[in-house]
A and B are shown apart, each in its own frame.
Chain A
Amino acid sequence: MGKKILIVDDSLYMRTLIKKAVEEAGYEVIGQAATGEEAIEMATTLQPDVITLDNVLPDMIGTDILKVYQDRGLAASVLMISAVGQDAVVEEGLENGAKAYLVKPFTPDQLVAELNKL
């Protein structure tokens, strides 16, 4: 079985797109979260190997979620995926524990290539 992955994105369309791409690449999707609160709870209980984390959620900013992950000592590798690509925000994500940052739009191949590097 491939690595266990948690998908965090408020967009149902984007979650569906990511799920299809990663499952075809051999990852096991163990959860999908649409809010920051869900992202924290599911990461804690499901203990994924990898998390794809959208940077803007209805209730929280992705970098704040990263800080909670760090505080809780979660071992998952985080790939931030966001339409937001400004330099300062990318740097902030990487400084707070994200392993990589992928800006939307992206192709399934680009997504899988980034995940395989984690």
Chain B
Amino acid sequence: MSAKKRLATLTDLEEAFIQGYVNASSSLEALRNAKVQYRQFHSGSYRLNQVQEFDHDLLSSGRDMVVTTEIFGDLVGKSYLLISTSEFESLTRDIPDSEMPGINMKVEFVKELDNILSASVITELSNRLRIRAFGDVPIVASESSASIGEVIFDDFRSQTDAVYVTAIYFSFENETSIMPRFVWVVNRNDFEGSDDPETRGTT
């Protein structure tokens, strides 16, 4: 049986993510009309049966809303945008209420925000790695007591036995209390690299 063809090296992937995050920050700047920066606070590979241990102070609290975008095409992956209630209120402060009954335009805005941020990263992954990838329609997940590691395990258990996880938060120059977290998970087996998937991610 022949080995599966790899899409790129892990180094290529990491570099593509970094530029993707730069682009996502620029998109957020344009949407918010304010200076935005990002900081990567985690990256690393995991055997899937250990990803439940993936945790971080920045992920363990204040994730009242999780917006997910599933990647399809050449790449198996998913993004998770984590937003607290106070961040949601701040990000949607200027969005008018919908005139249509049963429609929450603020939630619709956050879904579109996630769509644009995810696409900024997917565009860079596609261009740099020369792959064809798209983000599916964003989904707002209901609040759950599960840790983000448990959520990732459930989302990927039928697709792979190893994942690469990278996580950032955005920060706003004029509103320091807002720091939405953006977690990306891709199939580790699609990429060549010398790191041991059993190694915990770096923080």
**Are B115's CB and A83's CB within 8 A?**
yes
What residue of chain B has the Cβ atom nearest to residue A9's Cβ?
B112
Shortest B199–chain A CB gap in Å is 31
Question: Inside 8 A of A83's CB, which chain B residues have their CB?
Answer: 115-116, 118-120, 135
Which chain A residues numbered 1 to 30 have a C-beta less than 8 Å away from chain B? 10-14, 16
Q: Any chain B CB within 8 A of the CB of A56?
A: yes
Shortest B97–chain A CB gap in Å is 12
**Are A13's CB and B105's CB within 8 A?**
yes
Q: B108 touches which one: A13, A61, A85, A104 (CB < 8 A)?
A: A13
**Are B112's CB and A11's CB within 8 A?**
yes
Bound: A16/B99 CA distance, A: 11
Which chain B residues numbered 47 to 100 have a C-beta less than 8 Å away from chain A? 95, 98
Contacts A56-B135, A61-B134; A86 near B108 (Cβ below 8 A): no
**Are B137's CB and A16's CB within 8 A?**
no
Bound: A82/B134 CA distance, A: 11
Q: Any chain A CB within 8 A of the CB of B147?
A: no
Shortest A81–chain B CB gap in Å is 11
Shortest A39–chain B CB gap in Å is 14
Please encode chain B, from 186 to 203, with 1 for each CB lying within 8 Å of some chain A CB and 0 for all others. 000000000000000000
Question: Inside 8 A of B135's CB, which chain A residues have their CB?
Answer: 56, 83-84
Q: Any chain A CB within 8 A of the CB of B181?
A: no
Shortest A12–chain B CB gap in Å is 5
Q: Any chain A CB within 8 A of the CB of B141?
A: no
Question: Inside 8 A of A88's CB, which chain B residues have their CB?
Answer: 126, 132
Question: Inside 8 A of A10's CB, which chain B residues have their CB?
Answer: 137
**Are A105's CB and B116's CB within 8 A?**
yes
Question: Inside 8 A of B118's CB, which chain A residues have their CB?
Answer: 83
**Are A87's CB and B137's CB within 8 A?**
no
What residue of chain B has the Cβ atom nearest to residue A84's Cβ?
B119
Shortest B88–chain A CB gap in Å is 14
Which chain B residues numbered 26 to 50 have a C-beta less than 8 Å away from chain A? 27, 30-31
**Are B108's CB and A12's CB within 8 A?**
yes
Question: Inside 8 A of A86's CB, which chain B residues have their CB?
Answer: 122-123, 126-127, 133
Contacts A82-B119, A84-B123, A105-B27; A13 near B137 (Cβ below 8 A): no
Shortest A14–chain B CB gap in Å is 5
Which chain B residues numbered 134 to 160 have a C-beta less than 8 Å away from chain A? 134-137
What residue of chain B has the Cβ atom nearest to residue A85's Cβ?
B123
Which residues of A are in contact with B by a Cβ distance under 8 Å?
A: 10-14, 16, 55-58, 61, 82-89, 104-105
